[in-house]
Chains A and B, each alone.
Chain A
Amino acid sequence: MNLQPDVKRELRHIGIGCAAGAVLLSAGWGVLAAAGAGLSFGWSVPLSAALGAGVAWLNFFGLAVTLQKAVHCDSETGRRNLLRASDIYRKLGLGVFVAAMVLIPVFNWVAAAIPLLFPQLTIFAMYAFGRKTPSSKGGE
């Protein structure tokens, strides 16, 4: 299935936002640890942040593919089933990821859980900085 150019553009924006967020999170964590805020900083923090950002982007990718398929789906029942199945599988994936981050002591679960909200923060930032504005008035 080919992705629409608009969907590809949004995926690129979210990917850049997630990557930048992971770098900022690691840097901020390091600064706070150096300032004596009671946080421990090691290689597990950037690794967990990068993994979390990757999973967040994959979740957004799954959402994008599902919505594009749903728009082209003719029957309402099929559309509903598609959305429901996608939601279940994506939530299951997120659950397995968070559980793995908590249970495997090598990773830092806080640094892995925060990036899951990076796509949403990126969208807020896009609207806040005017990167995304309504291109047409629309209407009938």
Chain B
Amino acid sequence: MDFQLLAKGIALAGCAIGAGCALIAGIGPGIGEGNAVAAACEAIGRQPECKGDVTSTMLLGCAIAETTGIYGFVTGLLLIFVAPGMFMGMLG
């Protein structure tokens, strides 16, 4: 049995599974942004004079909420494009 080939296969499978798990992080920001916009619309409807403040705060809040999504997304892409090459190099 070729153990090197088996190790490469396991490494590639790990990269693919890891990338899939990392991309799950993109779900949270989507739900959070939807909730933030719904709450902002409600707040603007209640106090239209605070529209500028509410929009500005919502924008910054949504950008912060996106941090985990971008982080997971970049990690997933690196697991797809960079990690397999590194593992293949290490395993010969």
**Interface size, chain B (Cβ < 8 Å):** 36
| B80 nearest CB across to chain A (Å) | 8
Give residues 63-92 of B contacting A (CB, 8 Å). 63-64, 66-67, 69-71, 73-74, 77-78, 81-82
CB-CB < 8 A to B62: which residues of A?
63, 67
Distance A102 CA – B79 CA, assembled complex (angstroms): 11
Is A113 part of the binding interface, using a Cβ–Cβ cutoff of 8 Å? yes
| B79 nearest CB across to chain A (Å) | 11
Distance A7 CA – B40 CA, assembled complex (angstroms): 14
Is A80 part of the binding interface, using a Cβ–Cβ cutoff of 8 Å? yes
CB-CB < 8 A to B41: which residues of A?
70-71, 79
A5, A7, A91, A140: the one contacting B59 at CB < 8 Å is A7
A63→B59 contact, CB < 8 A: yes
Given contacts A76-B38, A83-B33, contact A10 B66 (CB under 8 A): no
Distance A60 CA – B78 CA, assembled complex (angstroms): 22
Is A68 part of the binding interface, using a Cβ–Cβ cutoff of 8 Å? yes
B60→A7 contact, CB < 8 A: no
A87, A95, A113: the one contacting B30 at CB < 8 Å is A87
Give residues 15-59 of B contacting A (CB, 8 Å). 26, 29-30, 33-34, 37-38, 40-41, 44, 46-47, 50-53, 55-59
Give residues 92-115 of A contacting B (CB, 8 Å). 94-95, 98-99, 102-103, 109, 113
Interface centre among B50, B58, B63, B78 (most CB of A within 10 A): B63
Summarize B's interface: helix, strand, loop or mixed: helix
Give residues 74-96 of A contacting B (CB, 8 Å). 76, 79-80, 83-84, 87, 91, 94-95
Given pairs A67-B33, A91-B26, 10 additional interface contacts (CB within 8 A): A5-B52, A67-B59, A91-B69, A94-B74, A99-B81, A109-B82, A113-B74, A120-B66, A134-B57, A136-B53
Q: Which residues of B contact A (CB under 8 A)?
A: 26, 29-30, 33-34, 37-38, 40-41, 44, 46-47, 50-53, 55-60, 62-64, 66-67, 69-71, 73-74, 77-78, 81-82
A sample of 6 inter-chain contacts (CB < 8 A) reads A4-B52, A6-B53, A94-B70, A95-B77, A102-B78, A123-B63
